[in-house]
Amino acid sequence: MLQEEEERRLKEEEEARLKYEKEEMERLETQRVEREKWQQLEAKDLGRRKEELEELYLLEVCYPEAEKLKRENRLLSQWKHYIRCDGSPDPSVLQEMNTFISLWKEEKNETFEEVIEKSKLVLNLIEKLKLILLETPRYDLQDKNVKQYQGSIQELQELLHYKFNVATEILLRQASTLADLDSGNMEKIIQDENVTLYVWANLKKNPRYKSIKFSGTDIGFEIPRMLATCDIALRLLHTHYDHVTPLFPVPRPLKVEQTSTVTKDVKDQVKNIAEEAISKEYQEEPKQPENGSITVPEEVQVEEEGDAELQMHSVEEVLEAIKFKVEMKLLSDTVTAAQLLLIENCYEKPELFGKNEVDLLQFTTLGGVYHVNLLELPPQCKPVKGWMIVEILKDGLQKYMYPPETTEDLETENTFPPIEVTLKVHENVIFFEDPMVARWDPEGKLWRTDGIRRVTYNSEERLITFNLETFGPVTLIQDTHINMPYQSWELRPLDVNKVLLTVTTVFTEIQIQIKENLCMLASIKLKHKEHFSVLKGKWMTPIPFIIALKEVGLNIFPTGHSHFYVVINNKVPLVELKAYRQMALLSSAFAFSWSRWNVRCDSNKVIFQVKEHLNQEPDTEYPNWTLLMFSGDRAQRLKINEYSETFSEALKDETEFHSTLYHMVKDFASGEAIEKIRGSNCQFIDSVCHMLLSTRLLSYS
């Protein structure tokens, strides 16, 4: 019995061993076959790599071509301004800006309405200067120009605020003539597209009149009893722009000795070609005998002169072609380097901010600045025998110190209670969470959140109320990265040289149309409902468009410091750059979409979905997406799909590797799609690429 069991056990072990050996041999054979197949595919990919990269280079010539067009447009813009002769200065010319500023300083006794009208030109000049700094590539910017433009911006901002202060003083001198019949105090509202002024003068000094509410609005103040009996004025100057926050430093220009490099390379190549042509010419000349000269007929001399001229013309054409080729190559390399800088992360952490100090890399000011000022009421105009006499103070408009500077023996909070302020949030700005209030610290040159208490926000009425301990500029702030990381994204062709980029976040869905060198906000949804935006339907070039979206609170544009504040799926910048450039090339005929597997692969690879899309209608059912993995040097189709249970980098059956995305999609693209890609406009491709670089979809989703 025991012997039978032992024999059975040995037999089972032997069968198991044989089965294992068979399975192992099959596994090893399968691995060998797969390895051989993989090596064959790699060899095939390596064999055609040079050819594919050369073809990609020819397609990517669109980027330096687009840059040349931008340069031409910048020069054309300067020329148009010159021939317009409308009296406005050219912001890039220092002499014109200095003259404009000096002349405006000399203008006296301007009313608030006159200053507002002039401010439109000033704000336009500031906007143009900021765009010059942002739109001009770093390799075309010189340090002296950056300092000049930033200096002009600062001078204009300071002068504009000074003019508003002088105009406020002129208005307050007339307070007694503008007094309200019911309250006896002066109240005035002046509204414009860029500025809104609310001013109240305490003429009656009635201790019971502590609640100030501007007529027709919910904006106002609650002042302590002691202020209700003082010669004061309250001013709320809401500038819809922010001239208080210091300008961010412009990154130092790229140290690319472009001109000298181009000249040297071109000269070297030109010299070589010329030497070859000259040596060839000498070789073809007949040798002269030592004892005398050859007599050449006149007709032959004329023919030879004509041939020489033709040859020289041919050489010049060759030299020009070489010069153009070298210049385009250098410009292409420079553009690529500049694009790479857009997506490189900063390695140094931002400086540490103290308690209650606002980190402007983490938070953004929105809706402009509210200058909340408590002012001394200036001497009033007095009618005397048909004349209006007024005492003009030498020091101009003065602040009323509250609380007083010397309050050592007093309990400040009880003796000098804070003022209650109610503000209206700008109608064009979107806050995805209740806004935070910050006040400006003129000594530290930063925004702070202390000195502000009891903040309440009515989202339906867009009213925010808070207690303010000290007077000065106040602003509303929101987390810069509130819409990051993204939940999903899609880039879909709409028409010839026109695409739709959709970015979905926790709070919103933003749709952006891109055509040629223009972008437009097509749609924005909040809580799955369409939301009106003042930007909707307005076409702008990419950089002004990005600025405009940020200013209304739709920030989906990470910076080099954003990775310190957002948990991201960080990818190698060069891989990301190559992916965006090639996606833009294909965007006129192929749709791209987010993939959940992108977070599962290494940082030196990206995964996304792609699909040929030639019609304008969106897919109603689950589209037949292809899953691609790209490492910058190799593209491949994956065996898994978006709905597979487990992740695998296995190659899809019956497919091959390619060195570029373009050649990868050619394997399954139609002829019409390839024609669309080759016929795409260079400015359109450049704009799509810029938007992809600015949103960094592959790292921030």
263 has a pLDDT exceeding 50: no
pLDDT of residue 286: 47
Tell me the average pLDDT across 267-292.
49
* Alpha carbons 462 and 611: distance in angstroms, whole number: 43
Per residue in 546-601, pLDDT tens? Answer: 999 999 999 999 999 999 999 988 999 999 999 999 999 999 999 999 999 999 99
pLDDT band at 281; cut points 50, 70, 90? very low
DSSP bridge pairs for 1: none
Per residue in 127-156, pLDDT tens? Answer: 999 999 998 888 788 889 999 999 999 999
* Alpha carbons 474 and 243: distance in angstroms, whole number: 12
58 has a pLDDT exceeding 70: yes
Longest dimension (CA), the chain: 140
Buried b (16+ CB within 10 A) or exposed e, 569-578: eebbbebbbb
pLDDT of residue 46: 84
Tell me the average pLDDT across 635-653.
90
Per the model's pLDDT, the better-predicted residue between 303 and 631 turns out to be 631
Indicate the angle between helix axes 682-695 and 542-551, nearest 10 degrees: 30
What is the 3-state composition of the chain as percent helix, strand, coil, each rounded to the nearest 5? 40, 20, 35
Please name the residue that has the structure tokens 């010539």: 61
Q: What is the mean pLDDT of the chain?
A: 85
pLDDT of residue 411: 55
List the structure tokens of 351. Answer: 């400086």
pLDDT band at 308; cut points 50, 70, 90? low
Tell me the average pLDDT across 255-267.
45
- Range scoring the smallest mean pLDDT among 229-243, 287-301, 470-484, 651-665: 287-301
267 has a pLDDT exceeding 50: no
Phi, psi of 534, deg, nearest 5: -65, -20
Per residue in 16-40, pLDDT tens? Answer: 888 888 888 877 777 776 777 777 7
Tell me the average pLDDT across 478-491.
95
How would you class 434 by CB atoms within 10 Å of its CB: exposed for 0-12, middle for 13-18, buried for 19 or more? middle
DSSP reduced 3-state for 476: strand
pLDDT band at 407; cut points 50, 70, 90? low
For residue 556, the number of C-alpha atoms closer than 13 Å in the C-beta half-sphere is 31
* Alpha carbons 370 and 472: distance in angstroms, whole number: 8
* Alpha carbons 50 and 57: distance in angstroms, whole number: 10
pLDDT of residue 317: 74
pLDDT of residue 421: 94
* Sheet containing strand 220-222, strands side by side: 211-213, 220-222, 419-424, 463-468, 452-458
254 has a pLDDT exceeding 70: no
Contact yes or no for 234/374 (Cβ under 8 A): yes
pLDDT of residue 100: 94
pLDDT band at 199; cut points 50, 70, 90? very high
Tell me the average pLDDT across 348-354.
79
- Range scoring the smallest mean pLDDT among 196-200, 278-282, 352-356: 278-282
282 has a pLDDT exceeding 80: no
Q: What is the pTM of this model?
A: 0.86
List the structure tokens of 583. Answer: 């996606």
Per residue in 87-112, pLDDT tens? Answer: 789 999 999 999 999 999 999 889 99
Per residue in 390-400, pLDDT tens? Answer: 777 777 788 88
Per the model's pLDDT, the better-predicted residue between 412 and 40 turns out to be 40
pLDDT of residue 6: 79
pLDDT band at 523; cut points 50, 70, 90? very high
* Alpha carbons 242 and 195: distance in angstroms, whole number: 11
DSSP bridge pairs for 186: 179, 201
Contact yes or no for 91/152 (Cβ under 8 A): yes
410 has a pLDDT exceeding 60: no
pLDDT of residue 298: 54
DSSP 16-69: HHHHHHHHHHHHHHHHHHHHHHHHHHHHHHHHHHHHHHHHHHHHTTHHHHHHHH
Per residue in 414-426, pLDDT tens? Answer: 678 899 999 999 9
- Count of C-beta atoms within a 10 Å radius of residue 347: 7
Q: Please provide the size of the chain in residues.
A: 701
Tell me the average pLDDT across 606-620.
79
Q: What percent of the chain has pLDDT over 70?
A: 88
DSSP bridge pairs for 421: 221, 466
Per residue in 454-463, pLDDT tens? Answer: 999 999 999 9
260 has a pLDDT exceeding 70: no
pLDDT of residue 467: 94
